[in-house]
Amino acid sequence: MAKVAIVTGATGGLGQEFIKEIKKIEEIDEIWAVGRNEKKLEELRKKYSIIRPVIADFRTDGVEVIKQKIQKELRANIDEVRFLINNAGIGYMGHFDKQGTEDIEKLCKINCSAPAALMSLCIPYMKRGAKIINVSSASSFQPNPYLSMYSASKVFLKNLSRAVSVELKSRGITVTCVCPGWIDTEMLPDEKDGEKIHYTGKISAEKVAKKAMRDCLKGKDISTPGAFASYFRIYSKYTPTKIVMKQWVKAIRRYVA
């Protein structure tokens, strides 16, 4: 009987931190590290013997790749998916009308369709005690001009996570939505046009993964890593949305072309 963890976006900074956290759990036999970069996946495999690289691109046929692997390698009622971590995601900062339709469709596939489809594929292979972690964002707490599609996609993932969490509670399966602020990874640019970018409440990927895993193991449906994300969740709930958006625009406008 194999007990498997599946981590998407595994080669990025946050994905690798989630892998480190899962490795601490003795019951996991394999970690399916899902990503597009074959070289980086191979480096992960060499670093951790528990890793099984899975090359998949959610812009195209990535979901089908995972579906075929599950159907081929896992036996219903025998093998288990103990963890599904939907970490893969992309963003776009700029004017909405400068985003092409292809970019919009790609963002929706990766940020919305893929996590939902993977949940659907994995839940039949989950038993009591299994965990799903969906990486959303503090951007899901408000509309974000100039980050509009990203913000909206993270609202989708947050609401999906919380709704499915209720549906799966009687089966003992936990769904935790992680809503961090800015994460300090290689994907976050340090400057724009020579000007250093200031990210309020920036937090390390390690801290996000550790907090997310603690909250998940406690059965929480929302995890807000870092003081800023925790504060902003409450602030955006009680402050009129127009005021929050105005403050956001004031802080971000100079970085937007």
How far is 136 from 101, CA to CA, in rounded Å?
22
Q: What is the pLDDT of residue 201?
A: 78
pLDDT higher than threshold 70 for residue 195: no
What number of helices (H) and strands (E) belong to the chain? 9, 11
Q: Give the total number of structural domains in the chain.
A: 1
pLDDT, tens digit, for every residue of 3-26? 999 999 999 999 999 999 999 887
Q: Which range marks the domain in which residue 8 is found?
A: 3-255
Burial of 15 (0-12, 13-18, 19+ CB in 10 A): buried
The upper half-sphere exposure of residue 138, i.e. CA atoms within 13 Å in the direction of its Cβ, equals 25
In this structure, which long-range contacts are made by residues 210-213, counting pairs with CB atoms below 8 Å and at least 24 apart in sequence? 210/17, 210/21, 212/18, 212/133, 212/135, 212/176, 212/178, 213/18, 213/21, 213/22, 213/133
Q: What is the pLDDT of residue 255?
A: 77
pLDDT higher than threshold 80 for residue 194: no
Greatest mean pLDDT among 21-25, 108-112, 179-183: 108-112
How far is 87 from 57, CA to CA, in rounded Å?
13
Q: What is the CATH number of the domain that holds 111?
A: 3.40.50.720
pLDDT, tens digit, for every residue of 42-89? 999 999 999 999 999 999 999 999 999 999 999 877 889 999 999 999
Report the predicted TM-score, pTM, of the whole model to 2 decimal places.
0.93
pLDDT higher than threshold 80 for residue 193: no
